Amino acid sequence: MIASDKELPTGSLALRRISKSFPGVRAVDNVSLDFYPGKIHALMGENGAGKSTVMKLITGIYQPDSGEMSFNGKRLAPRSYRESLAMGIDIVHQEIQVVPDASVAENIMLDKLSLVSTGGLVNWRRLYEEASAFMQEVGLDLPPSTVVRQLSAAHKQLIQIARALAARATVILLDEPTSSLSLNEADNLFKLFDGLKKRDVTLIYVSHKIEEVYRIADTISVMRDGKLIGTRTSAELERRELVRMMIGRDLREQRIGPSEVNERRIVLKVEALTKARKCRAISFELHEGEILGFYGLVGSGRTEFARVLIGEDQADSGLVYVNGKKAAINRVSDALFRYKIGYVTENRKEEGLFLDDSVLTNLTLLVWNKMRHPLTRAISRKKEQEAAGKMVSALSVRTRSLADLVANLSGGNQQKISIGRWLLADCDILIIDEPTVGVDVGAKEQIHQLIWNLARLERKAIILISSEMAEVIRLSSRILIFADQQIIGEVTRLDDEERSYRKVRDEIGNLLSAIH
């Protein structure tokens, strides 16, 4: 069993050398962590660092490939979420999970309705009484019969926590619980956490918000690329050091190469593009041969802006010029066929690929129109295979045949296909959203090289949206910083030899911390 058990206070949760792999990615790599009762322990890291996977391993949603977990001195190996819940470990997900048309009380007591029932009938008075106790505890000042649908996100978040308490959870995992809350609501939540600490509840807290973590966490652990980088008490961890741990210093931070931007050719010019709750007064210019990085946190308005630009969402106001001419983009086909703007989506599985379709179809569907026989209107199989075959070789996609289903390829190869599709369509402007999420290191390098070649050699203009700072700095010739649906700053001259990675990183950090 776990060697250091004796030293752990009762009620502690310990992970020892836990690893978990998915095809092509080592999501959690030899991670050891200790969580103590009455403490708030924050898990931090960039997207894809492995935090969520750790949470899912603890709560039995996934099972580790190797390593051990213990809870309260006993071995912990939940095979399902139900099992972890039975041991008193519960998770509050980032997406709010409530039954909207049921009452607050029912939502809190959802899995315990049988306890307040007699002969199969729910005893409503008892249900309301018991639920009220938990509602009081989390500070929900409402009649227990209130229907959940009409409540705010903050209330729903509290209901989820009350549900965890009702389940007698002594370990509660919180996945970005403040992401849909206002500052005031978040404050109330933090007060609740103080109360829970006093009752010796273990809180494990995943968040991207640095301010917030310093405010509430006792201990901070940082993960990167599936590995644990370090665990410190928040009092002794300097903010700069935390950022350094999260972003890392390794090969990736070297510039991929000097860029060659043609400043005189403005391919895309955006003026004060605005859409309510999506993006605010976005203005910038994009040049031929340029990779323009969009850096910011999830929800900062980068993807939202891209979707407005390509016509998937309609702008409330603002102007777009393509090659100096005013452009009217009302739908995605306008962006693609009239203005040659392509958008590689961030969720390739949900919004990018046709998983149950062949590599061939996934690559060629944008250019079918150009492959038709003039009389029969039939898409030429031969032309289709030629085009797809060339792209597969050019991007070195590893597939046995063009007929293979895309679902059976690795993440990196899938990503190459979702980019390759837009290359076949001969787009001049490419927006590439989070190109290397869920992709292994080797494929990541290839995709970086590909993006760089597109700008440098093929003279495309590229907007690179990424939440990974190292990636943005490595590839971009210029970076726009997004926060709160607007551009809050610009970092230029990334090619400058004098400017080290560290300087650029600090500059971005200063811009971001100025607004928080």
Partner 1 sequence: MQETELRPKPTETAPDFSKTSKRFRGGRALGLLIGTVVLFGAIALVSDTFLKPYTMFIIARQIAFSILIALSQAVCLVVGGMNLSVGAIGSMATVILGLCFQELKLNAWLAVPITLIFGVVSGAINGLIITRLRINSFIVTLSLMFVYMGLRSGISGGSPYIIPQDFGFIGQNAIFGVSWIFVLVCLILLATGYMFSYTVFGRHMLATGGNENAARLCGIATDAIVFRAHVISGLLAALAAVLWASMIGSCAPETGDSWLIGSFAVSIIGGTGLNGGVISIAGIFLGGAIFVLINYGLIEIKANPYFANSFLGALILLAIVLDRIREIVGESKHKS
CB of 303 to partner 1, least distance (A): 12
Based on the shown chain and the rule CB under 8 A, indicate whether residue 360 belongs to the binding site for partner 1: yes
Determine contact, residues 107/148, Cβ cutoff 8 Å: yes
Helices 501-515 & 239-247 angle (0-180, nearest 10): 120
Residue 330 binds to partner 1 (criterion: CB under 8 A): no
SS3 433: strand
Cβ closest to partner 1, residue 328 vs residue 515:
328
Q: Whole-angstrom Cα distance, residue 488 to residue 283? A: 11
Q: How far is the CB of 306 from partner 1 (least distance, A)?
A: 10
372 binds partner 1 (CB under 8 A): yes
Contacts of residue 444, Cβ cutoff 8 Å, sequence gap at least 6: 412, 436
What CA–CA distance (Å, rounded) separates 477 from 491? Answer: 9
**How many residues in the shown chain lie near partner 1 by CB under 8 A?**
49
Structure tokens at 463: 């907007």
What letter represents residue 159's amino acid? I
Interaction between residue 340 and partner 1 (CB under 8 A): no
Judged by CB under 8 A, the residue of 152, 408, 449, 513 near partner 1 is 408
Residues 486 and 273: beta-carbon distance below 8 Å:
no
Binding partner 1 (rule: CB under 8 A), the pick from 355, 394, 488, 511 is: 355
- Residue 421, interface with partner 1 (CB under 8 A)? yes
- Min dist. Cβ of residue 491 to partner 1 (A): 29
Q: Please tell me the distance from the alpha carbon of residue 461 to that of residue 261, in angstroms, as a whole number.
A: 9
Q: Is 293 in the site for partner 1 (CB under 8 A)?
A: no
User: Is residue 336 close enough to count as binding partner 1 by CB under 8 A?
Assistant: yes
If one asks whether residue 446 binds partner 1 (CB under 8 A), the answer comes out as: no
- Does 331 participate in binding partner 1 (rule CB under 8 A)? yes
Q: Does 352 bind partner 1 (CB under 8 A)?
A: yes
CB of 397 to partner 1, least distance (A): 8
Scanning 245-253, 319-327, 329-337, 483-491 for contacts with partner 1 by CB under 8 A, the matching segment is 329-337
328 binds partner 1 (CB under 8 A): no
Q: What is the rounded CA–CA span in Å between residue 373 and residue 371?
A: 7
Does residue 256 contact residue 263 with C-beta atoms inside 8 Å? no
Helix H or strand E encompassing 90: strand 89-92
- Separation of alpha carbons 119 and 123, rounded Å: 10
Binding site for partner 1 (CB under 8 A): 23-24, 310, 312, 331-333, 335-337, 343, 345, 350-358, 360-361, 365-366, 368-369, 372, 376-379, 381, 385, 388-389, 392-393, 398-403, 408-410, 413, 421
